[in-house]
Amino acid sequence: MSLARTLEPEVMDTVEEAVDYDSMNHTTVNRAFVQDLLRYVAETGSVRVVLGDTEDVSPARQGTETSLDAEASLGGTVIDVGAGTALIPLELVRMVPYVGPIIAVDLSVEMLRLAVRHIRNEKLRSRILALLTDAKYLPFVDGSCDVVMSNSIVHHIPRPVDVFCELRRIIKPGGILFLRDLMRPVSENVVEQLVGQYAGGDNVHQQQLFRQSLHAALSVDEVRDLLDATGFETARVCATSDRHWTVTARMPGL
């Protein structure tokens, strides 16, 4: 029998949670998120991206990773929903010379406190804005956002359909959705194996955060049902690693 979903607290609003989350090593996962986002946006024609194996790129930048030409840009408003300490917006700004503004939305004061500190330290206050708000009631008008991205928030939401409806509402016709989260493992054994493999070097509280998140995550089939229920006709969901699913969509209308 498959593992049932067990909810975890929605908002990560203690100092300990925020500090422990922020100090875990998210670099590989975040870099992959930004590269996959850019690859998807490039495929849909919204940003000029030069892939690492083309002739246009200097030898130093060649390789399997996505690299960007010097003029690369990602126009319009970019929203990061459940941005936490803004590590993904920071990674995006480092990779794309012209992007934004990026609005980093979260409902946790403590996560945003650290986000603002990072943004200030990197002198990016004019490019990344931190906004304390609920992903279930986003303060953006219908069809106003060009790119909506989100990593690892859906498993926090008791009724994810509420967030999916909001994302659907705020994206512009022709706009992009790029949504990634953990995928609930099929058994307790697989949970423990993933915790050992990806959080083995972390402290006990950090391991517990990861374990709870895996238990609270959705399966690919559950996400597919949500996309159907919320009218994301053009969206696709698939497993993109041993512990993640990813939704991509370009909204119809352009």
Ligand X SMILES: C[S@@+](CC[C@H](N)C(=O)[O-])C[C@H]1O[C@@H](n2cnc3c(N)ncnc32)[C@H](O)[C@@H]1O
Residues sharing a CB contact under 8 Å with residue 231, sequence separation 6 or more, in sequence order: 168
Cα 206 from chain centroid (whole Å): 19
Binding residue for ligand X (CB under 6 A) from 66, 152, 230, 248?
Answer: 152
Please say whether the beta carbons of 90 and 159 come within 8 A: no
Q: How far is the C-alpha of 93 from the C-alpha of 98, rounded, in Å?
A: 8
Print burial letters for 19-50: b (CB count within 10 Å at least 16), e (below 16): ebbbebebeebbbbbbbbbbebbbeeebbebb
Q: Which stretch binds ligand X (CB under 6 A): 59-67, 83-91, 117-125, 242-250?
A: 83-91
172 binds ligand X (CB under 6 A): no
Residue 63: DSSP 8-state: S
11 binds ligand X (CB under 6 A): yes
Binding residue for ligand X (CB under 6 A) from 72, 124, 135, 191?
Answer: 135
Burial of 77 (0-12, 13-18, 19+ CB in 10 A): middle
82 binds ligand X (CB under 6 A): yes
Q: Which stretch binds ligand X (CB under 6 A): 134-142, 164-172, 195-203, 219-227?
A: 134-142
Nearer to ligand X, 41 or 217 (CB): 217
State the number of binding residues for ligand X (CB under 6 A).
22
Nearer to ligand X, 109 or 238 (CB): 109
Binding residue for ligand X (CB under 6 A) from 87, 93, 218, 227?
Answer: 87
Q: How far is the C-alpha of 183 from the C-alpha of 32, rounded, in Å?
A: 16
Nearer to ligand X, 151 or 206 (CB): 151
182 DSSP β-pair partners: 244
Q: Nearest approach, Cβ of 179 to ligand X (angstroms)?
A: 11
Q: Nearest approach, Cβ of 50 to ligand X (angstroms)?
A: 26
Residues lying near ligand X in the complex (CB under 6 A) are found at 10-12, 26, 82-84, 87-88, 105-108, 111, 134-136, 151-153, 156-157
